[in-house]
A and B are shown apart, each in its own frame.
Chain A
Amino acid sequence: MLNDHLDDDVIQEYVYGFLSPLDRKSAETHLATCTTCSDQVQHYKDIFEALEEDHGFELSKHFTNRVLRKTHRQAMGTLQFGLLQLFFIVAGFIVTINVMLNYMEIEKLESTLETTGSALTQFVPPLVQYFSNMISGVHTQNLYIALIVVAITALLLFDRFVLKPRFRASSMS
């Protein structure tokens, strides 16, 4: 045993204190007389100490603020994208209705819808009639342009006076 040096893994476990009491005792007996293995123990002690040195991992002083700003920006971006989508849906709906009213006869529209099913035709004609009544006397194109302008203005005001101040306040906190 004295001439057979300790296995490298055994030395690592010895330094880390992972050997069983029996193996530890046997290792200590060997180390008392073997300078090669004792040196190795010392090397591993240095290595373990160096590995546990928590040095050189410093992030910048404003790291946390940057992360918070980034996550808020993303959250706001998602919300704004959602609002933009909503705007396009509403605008698309308004444009479609107005184009249909402008270029199709109401009767033709009704007959087209009748073919899609009786339930639908029962629901849609009153709706079409409602829109038709609502816009009677108003120039169709002017109406939908006005509605889009109102929607854009509302979104811009909401973004300027509600979203941005909230974003600024939360990224400062």
Chain B
Amino acid sequence: MDDDLERKQVSQILQGDSKAFRNFVDSYQRLVAHIVFRMVPEADREDICQDVFVKAYQNLKSFHFQSKLSTWLARITYNTCVNYLEKKRVPLFDNQSKENQSLNHWPAEETSPYHEAEKKDTFSHLRDEIEKLPVIYRTIITLYHLDQMSYAEIGKITALPEGTVKSYLFRARKMLRRSLLTHYQEEELC
């Protein structure tokens, strides 16, 4: 959405136009769902998504277009999820020791017989593996790959330097590749 349209939409919502707010929710619910679904457990996802839009509605007055509306909303979403995880005592950077192990000890890469028929299984395996990544990695890969956000935008959302965002992104994919190799080896053994 371009800047003028965003400004128009925001001003209509602030004037109490419920249709404009409905459009806003419809346009951005996918982005919010991407972040929330990747960061929090299943049971509370929908409630958190609702809370994000309620917060956005309440704080829209304080949005002065210093960033894109999507970045601003994604930041609210990220912070809401972080607060939720803090209450539940879930660390953003869990699995760190496991991660270091996995990055340093690659399984042997002898063969990986690959066929199109196995793709579905591979994707399903990868989906499960994404869920096992540390929360911050899941968030970053989601924003980058699903929402096509830049390192700078992700940095604004997560309050991390661009370099750190990039490094986490590469590490997350590396961890996925390692789990993919293990998966292929297990398949070979079967």
> Which A residues have a C-beta under 8 Å from some C-beta of B?
8-9, 12, 36, 39-40, 42-44, 46-60, 63-64, 66-68, 70-72, 74, 170, 173
A72 and B50 CA atoms in complex are apart in Å by 13
Give the number of residues in B that approach A within 8 Å (Cβ atoms).
Answer: 39
Spell out B's residues near A (CB within 8 Å). 18-19, 21-22, 25-26, 29-30, 33-34, 37, 46, 49-50, 53-54, 57-58, 109, 111-112, 114, 119, 122-123, 126-127, 130, 141-142, 145-146, 170, 173-174, 176-177, 180-181
Q: Given known contacts A43-B112, A54-B146, is B22 in contact with A64 (CB within 8 Å)?
A: yes
Main secondary structure of the interface of B (DSSP, over half): helix
Check A67–B18 contact: CB distance below 8 A.
no
User: Please, how many angstroms separate the alpha-carbon atoms of A44 and B26 in the complex?
Assistant: 33
Instruction: For residue B183, give the distance in angstroms from its CB to the closest CB of chain A.
Output: 10
* Contact between B122 and A50, CB atoms less than 8 A apart: yes
The total number of A-B Cβ pairs within 8 Å is 100
Contact of A36 among B50, B109, B145 (CB under 8 A): B109
User: CA–CA, A45 to B74, complex, Å?
Assistant: 27
Q: Return B178 CB to nearest CB of chain A, in Å.
A: 10
Residues of the B chain whose Cβ atoms lie less than 8 Å from the Cβ of A47: 126, 173, 176-177, 180
Q: Report 19 cross-chain contacts, Cβ distance below 8 Å, ordered by A residue.
A: A8-B170, A12-B174, A36-B109, A43-B177, A43-B181, A50-B130, A51-B130, A51-B141, A51-B145, A52-B145, A54-B30, A57-B37, A59-B33, A59-B46, A67-B54, A68-B25, A71-B54, A71-B57, A170-B18
Q: Within 8 Å CB of A68, what residues of B?
A: 18, 21-22, 25
Q: Is the CB of B145 within 8 A of A59?
A: no
Contacts A43-B112, A70-B50, A173-B19 aside, 16 further interface pairs with beta carbons under 8 A come to A36-B109, A39-B111, A44-B177, A46-B126, A47-B126, A47-B176, A48-B145, A50-B123, A50-B130, A51-B173, A56-B37, A56-B127, A58-B33, A63-B49, A64-B22, A70-B53
